Amino acid sequence: MTDTINIDNGKNELKIQEQRKKSFNGLCASEWASLSRSVWNDVSSARAKKHLNHGATYPEKLCDRVISMYSNQKDVILDPFMGTGTTIISALKNKREAIGIELTDRFYNISIASINEYMESIKFNLFNKDYPKSNLIQGDCCEVLKNIANNSIQLTLTSPPYADLIHKVVKDRAKTHKNSYFVTQNNATTNIYSDDERDLGNMSLKKYLEKVEEIMQELFRVTRPGGYNAWVVKDYRDTKNKIPYVDLHSKIANAGQKAGFLYHDLIIWDQNQHRKLVLLGFPSVFYVNQNHSYIVIMRKPK
């Protein structure tokens, strides 16, 4: 194969370099155009064993995309609900620094092991200053966030617990869904994160939202002016309590706005490819399958 002849004498390359310099995330116009879709149906992936041990992880590809859209190399990325460390691994691979906070020992240890494995795979050397750093902290994010410096974070990327929904799901699946598509075909595992009362997965929706408001205030303080705060959340039903639809993503956005963030964008993560349809509310109330999550993008004003 012959090399392509460069007919513009590198002018196009210069233009692209100029665009990269001007954009805060280092993307050129065509890269941004291809990333700027509002519905994502190509970021899901099958879960690895460590993800199944946890039960509520998100894909690295999703993190890669959010991180490349809302930060640049060397920026600091924060995940206050780190889980198995998916955000942290993605941040390091994309040459960003990372801070992760996780309450539960089990998941904290999985994160440490995954990050060590990654560092070994890139032959990490302490003397090489080019390698990005990570700081993983075990504890309650409501407390740990207080130790993070003002205006130091470019992007928070996280998926929080959904109040005490997980307890309802576990009970429900043990009874009604034992042999259903949910368990047998969707490859779904659901585990309670911990029995710690500081775990947001053990709180009523009311208490949970109060905590989220507290966390948003800390996130606002630590985020740089112009920085971003992205929460990956799903709406859900609480039919046992006669609440057909809990609009969680709006409640999260409201808490962010109350703390001072601007509601910047809303992305839909379409998960239909990885979930089979199940029969919901037939033949009485007819509920649709909620096979998507939201990525709520908030921004601290400049």
Ligand X SMILES: C[S@@+](CC[C@H](N)C(=O)[O-])C[C@H]1O[C@@H](n2cnc3c(N)ncnc32)[C@H](O)[C@@H]1O
| Interface ranges with ligand X (CB under 6 A) | 54, 56-58, 81, 83-84, 86, 101-104, 107, 140-142, 159-161, 193-194, 198-201
- Neighbouring C-beta atoms of residue 263, cutoff 10 Å: 14
**Considering beta carbons, is residue 58 or 228 the nearer one to ligand X?**
58
Can you read off the two tokens belonging to residue 234?
């799903």
Q: State the nearest-atom distance from the C-beta of 234 to ligand X, in Å.
A: 10
Q: State the nearest-atom distance from the C-beta of 200 to ligand X, in Å.
A: 4
**Considering beta carbons, is residue 32 or 236 the nearer one to ligand X?**
236
At residue 52, the 3 state secondary structure works out as: helix
Residue whose token pair is 């006669």: 242
Residues 6+ apart with CB under 8 A from 35: 27, 65, 68, 69
At residue 262, the 3 state secondary structure works out as: strand
What distance in Å separates the CA atoms of residue 179 and residue 31, rounded to the nearest whole number? Answer: 44
Please give the distance of CA 208 from its chain centroid, rounded to a whole number. 18
Q: State the nearest-atom distance from the C-beta of 295 to ligand X, in Å.
A: 12
**Considering beta carbons, is residue 97 or 164 the nearer one to ligand X?**
164
Q: State the nearest-atom distance from the C-beta of 196 to ligand X, in Å.
A: 7
**Considering beta carbons, is residue 69 or 215 the nearer one to ligand X?**
215
**Considering beta carbons, is residue 27 or 169 the nearer one to ligand X?**
169
Q: State the nearest-atom distance from the C-beta of 84 to ligand X, in Å.
A: 4
